[in-house]
């Protein structure tokens, strides 16, 4: 049974968001797995719009190890509870995906095309290299902007950007916005044992 302990104050939700930010900065686990562990249930992807071709800017190409203006796939979607249609939107994700580098089998390619399986689930061996995870709004990036919230409950609380790696090769550039709904439900599990201990302070 999942015991629900709501965050009574905005400060509680902010503290929880900062805890998740620390975890994302330090542990190379795909975002979907982190959020699923946090909320205590499986997640699915809800497409925001159909996938579209995207020409990489020089910065994006550099992060993905590709020539500038390479065409990749831009995917925009939400992470929502796996079961039911009335669950909250927990996060919005924009991903620039180099499909050929994913090396998916036929089933994986079909799941990618349907759009309901999160990328971090499709690429089972994926590792996450976080660029930033912050509880203050990230600077606007005109080349990789977050979509505007589509509903009043889509209140951003955590902004992240990362490269997703498979077998050491970049396969996707992702930008995630975690909504406040993810931090106002049940109390998350203790994630501290996943984090390496802080080095001892030297006292002169």
pLDDT value at position 106? 92
Task: Note the pTM of the prediction, 2 decimals.
Answer: 0.84
User: pLDDT digit string (tens) for 63-115?
Assistant: 999 999 999 999 999 999 988 777 789 999 999 999 999 989 999 999 999 99
Q: What is the mean pLDDT of residues 3-25?
A: 75
Residues 98 and 171 sit within 8 Å (Cβ to Cβ): yes
pLDDT value at position 66? 96
Three-class SS of residue 47?
strand
User: pLDDT digit string (tens) for 117-165?
Assistant: 999 889 878 899 999 999 998 777 777 877 778 888 899 999 999 999 9
Which residues in 107-121 are b (16+ Cβ under 10 Å) and which e?
A: ebeebbeebebbbbb
């Amino acid at each position: 049974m999942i015991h629900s302990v709501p965050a009574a104050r905005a400060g509680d939700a902010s503290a929880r968001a900062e805890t998740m930010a620390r975890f994302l900065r330090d542990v190379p686990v795909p975002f979907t797995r982190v959020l699923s562990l946090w909320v205590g249930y499986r997640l699915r992807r809800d497409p925001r719009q159909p996938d579209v071709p995207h020409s990489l800017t020089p910065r994006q190409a550099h992060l993905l190890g590709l020539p500038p203006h390479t065409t990749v796939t831009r995917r925009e979607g939400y992470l929502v509870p796996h079961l039911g249609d009335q669950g909250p939107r927990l996060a919005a994700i924009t991903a620039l995906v180099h499909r050929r580098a994913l090396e998916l089998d036929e089933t994986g390619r079909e799941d990618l095309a349907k759009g309901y399986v999160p990328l971090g689930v499709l690429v089972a061996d994926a590792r996450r290299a976080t660029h930033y995870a912050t509880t203050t709004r990230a600077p606007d990036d005109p080349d990789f902007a977050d979509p505007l919230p589509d509903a009043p409950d889509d209140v951003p609380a955590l902004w992240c950007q990362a490269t997703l790696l498979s077998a050491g090769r970049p396969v996707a550039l992702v930008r995630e916005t975690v909504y406040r709904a993810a931090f106002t439900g049940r109390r998350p599990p203790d994630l501290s044992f996943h984090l390496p201990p802080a080095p001892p302070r030297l006292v002169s």
